[in-house]
Amino acid sequence: MGNLKVITDDIESQPLNENFANNCAYGVSSNGTDDYAITPVPAPISYIAGQMFRFKADVANTGACTLNVNTLGAKAIKMEDGSDPANGMIQAGAIVTVIYDGTYFRIPNSGLMSHLAESAPHQQQELLYLTDPISGKTYRFGIDGSQNRMYYEEVV
């Protein structure tokens, strides 16, 4: 029983942010603008480089946009190369993953998305087909070059 107490004390003594930095929190934005705001649980007490968040966007972005997590302060959302997301890059209802780099929230792998979209700016490029082994449904994933965004849809 003594060892269990030591382990429990050690876990309880770690700041919440230390534990939180290794996890990915999720929230739904309902701000009505592309100044997205979420309140995930557990709530981080500050931003730490390397933190990952996922949020469901309530509206499409119109260029530069921000994310405010638990009222810690809005931080700009940037593409991997540091540029602002293009208009409509984040769609209403989309689940967006961002990683805090110490200054901005970055959308991971956005460089690949931009490159593929630029290579065929007015076409849809199919990247991958996957079949769900349980439902038997097949889904197509790709890049929509005309809107510089990723898509997926069920193949009927």
pLDDT digits (tens, 9 = 90+) for 55-97: 999 999 998 999 999 999 999 999 988 999 988 888 898 889 8
Residues 80, 15, single domain; the answer is yes
Cα angle, residue 139 at apex, residues 134 and 140 outer, rounded to 5°: 160
What local confidence, expressed as pLDDT, does residue 42 receive?
Answer: 85
Q: Among 11-25, 33-47, 94-108, 120-134, where is mean pLDDT lowest?
A: 11-25
Mark whether 142 and 84 lie in a shared domain: no
Let me know whether 64 and 81 are in one domain.
yes
The answer to whether the beta carbons of residues 111 and 124 sit under 8 Å apart is no
**10 & 58 share domain:** yes
The pLDDT, as a whole number, for residue 140 is 66
Give the model's pLDDT for residue 27: 93
Whether 9 and 77 map to the same domain: the answer is: yes
Same domain? For 12 and 86 the reply is yes
Same-domain check for residues 144 and 67? no
Do 124 and 104 belong together in one domain?
A: no
Q: How many angstroms separate the CA atoms of 48 and 3, rounded?
A: 31
Across 30-44, average pLDDT: 92
- Identify the pLDDT of residue 46: 94
Is 125 in the same domain as 55? no
Give backbone dihedrals phi and psi of 2, rounded to 5 degrees, phi first.
-60, -40
Do 81 and 129 fall into the same domain? no
Confidence category of residue 141, pLDDT binned at 50, 70, 90:
low
Shared-domain flag, residues 78 and 150: no
Residue-range definition of the domain harbouring residue 74: 1-108
Higher per-residue pLDDT: 7 or 66: 66
Domain tally for the chain? Answer: 2
Extract the tokens encoding 31. Answer: 């701000």
Antiparallel, parallel or unpaired: β 65-69 and 74-78: antiparallel
